A and B are shown apart, each in its own frame.
Chain A
Amino acid sequence: MAPPSSGPRRRSRFSPLTRQVFLYLFCLIPAVSDIAQGMANTLGPNPVSVCLHDFGRWAFRFLLISLAVSPLKRFVGLDFMVYRRPLGLLAFSYAALHVVFYVGVARHFDAHVLWKDFTSRPFLTFGLLTFLILLALALTSTRRAIIALGRRWAKLHKLVYVAMILASVHYAIAFKTWHTEPFIYAAIAGVLLSLRLVPKAGKRTV
């Protein structure tokens, strides 16, 4: 049996961009699958609701995963930094699908109803704010934007922490009764966010 290699990891045959695009496309499978099943009428009596909910959960999960990238590198030594951007864009893409399914498919772009929704239903206000942050981050995720914004880019993208908190609240209060899953997800989010508070300077014992 070959001994575990201790040297630098084998270089991929594929360029970073290719790997990013591949990851992004691969992770769109749940969306494609839901939409295909929805069109084939195999998602049950309310396919729109299934899609809405699935997309919301995927958005949340990809937001979590994208926030796990830097702690993984810092504390575990696993470097997936090249995948952080596609993971963030996946969170945004699923959030966008989720929002389109609510605003368009379910609510028929009814401005009157939507205004009332966003101004008087707290869970939707939290959802909207989360989405606006993700939108801003997605729009400034290009190389051009990074260069143009300079130092301010890093500051702006710290908003992802706020998005994670807002999304956790949106998820927790989205249902008629308290569900367990949102709290499990929120706990994971809490851990990932607290890891940011661990001071960078000095010796670490981890």
Chain B
Amino acid sequence: MAVYRYPRPASSDITPRRLFFSRRALLGTAVGGVLAGGLNSGMAQADAPVAPSARGCPAAETPTPRDDVTHYNNFYEFGMEKSDPAELSGGFHPRPWQVQVDGLVEHPQVWDLDALNARFGHEDRLYRMRCVEAWSMVIPWQGFELGALLRAAGVKAGAKYVAFTSVVRPSEMPGQRGGLFSLRWPYVEGLRLDEAMHPLTLLATGVYGEALPAQNGAPIRLVVPWKYGFKGIKSITRITVTDQQPPTSWNQMAPDEYGFYANVNPDVDHPRWSQSSEQIIGEGSLFRTARRPTRLFNGYAEQVASLYRGMDLRKDF
């Protein structure tokens, strides 16, 4: 099978960052070093951060420090604060785990997580992650393409969408207890079939070379790097191929704020935040955040823009 050559965030396609000498810069470099040494693919090496030179050259796009990736999460099943998922997910059991694949497929099947791993393996993908709240990270995921799973399941003619369902376990997920005004559970998401089959679309089972921690969506989650982070449904229990556009959680909560497509787009404003730029988590100082302009499709336009040809991205936001 040919390995998909996905676009890696490179130094050339980011705005130069100001150099700074904080713990974060050091951490970023240290973690990047671990990454380069610890993973088996050449990709990590290629993306190992370049130490900032004394002359002030822009550094390469560094993975966000692991600590930040695992302690700054939106995972409302565990709580609404960014620190809640890491703090309150201790009681969550990501094993054993099954994923049901059904709907318009030739071979509906309940997959055990180990079977998925054995069948589809994993590769490294260093992706930018852009949250709808106007912040971003660069995250080294491990996982396999959703398309591979769907091909194995055999998508039937007439299928148009893929619906995803997360887990409901109030006893293990404090955010699912009470919470009068909260999201409705289970969290649900969806993609158009062509988006789901796109080689960039990943089912992640690991981050930073280790199994996904609970707060990042253990044991298996969706990563769609050209869409806002909330499309990346966590702790998936069911994947259903369908001919209807499936409901999606944030869209149900506030349809005027969160669309079905949720493609990263600096020109489509969100009612709460300007989407024209983003805060880079893990950089900047207490007195000045690090920001950079947001790019159409989160910088993956070359790969995915064709999916939306002829569509009004303002209407279908």
Contacts and interface: CB of A to CB of B under 8 A. Distances in A.
A45 B68 contact: yes
Do most interface residues of chain B lie in helix, strand or loop, or is the interface mixed?
loop
A177 B183 contact: yes
Interface in B7-64: 22-24
A44 B71 contact: yes
A45 B82 contact: yes
Contacts of A51: 286
Interface in A97-143: 105-106, 108, 113, 116-117, 120-121, 123
A180 B181 contact: yes
A5 interface: no
A45 B281 contact: yes
A175 interface: yes
B289 interface: yes
Contact of A176 (B82, B272, B276): B272
Interface in B62-99: 65, 67-68, 71-72, 76, 80, 82-83
Contacts, number: 69
A116 to B, nearest CB: 6
A120 B183 CA distance: 25
A113 B134 CA distance: 13
B82 A177 contact: no
Contacts of A48: 279, 284, 286, 289
Given A39-B286, A46-B82, A179-B80, A123 B272 contact: yes
B80 A177 contact: yes
A159 interface: no
Interface string A152-185: 0000000000000000000000011111100000
Contact of B22 (A41, A44, A45, A178): A41
Contacts of B254: 176
B1 interface: no
Chain A contact patch, size range? 20 to 34
B3 interface: no
A35 interface: yes
Interface string B89-128: 0000000000000000000000000000000000000000
A115 B149 CA distance: 47
B4 interface: no
Given A108-B288, A108-B291, A177-B182, A41 B80 contact: no
A35 B286 contact: yes
B72 A38 contact: no
Nearest to A43: B286
19 contacts: A38-B286, A41-B24, A43-B286, A45-B65, A45-B71, A45-B82, A45-B282, A46-B135, A46-B279, A46-B281, A47-B286, A105-B286, A113-B277, A120-B269, A175-B80, A177-B76, A177-B183, A178-B181, A179-B80
List the 9 closest pairs (A to B, CB-CB), nearest first. Answer: A178-B181, A45-B72, A45-B68, A38-B286, A41-B23, A113-B274, A47-B286, A48-B289, A45-B281
Interface of B: 22-24, 65, 67-68, 71-72, 76, 80, 82-83, 133, 135, 180-183, 253-254, 257, 269, 271-274, 276-277, 279, 281-282, 284, 286-289, 291
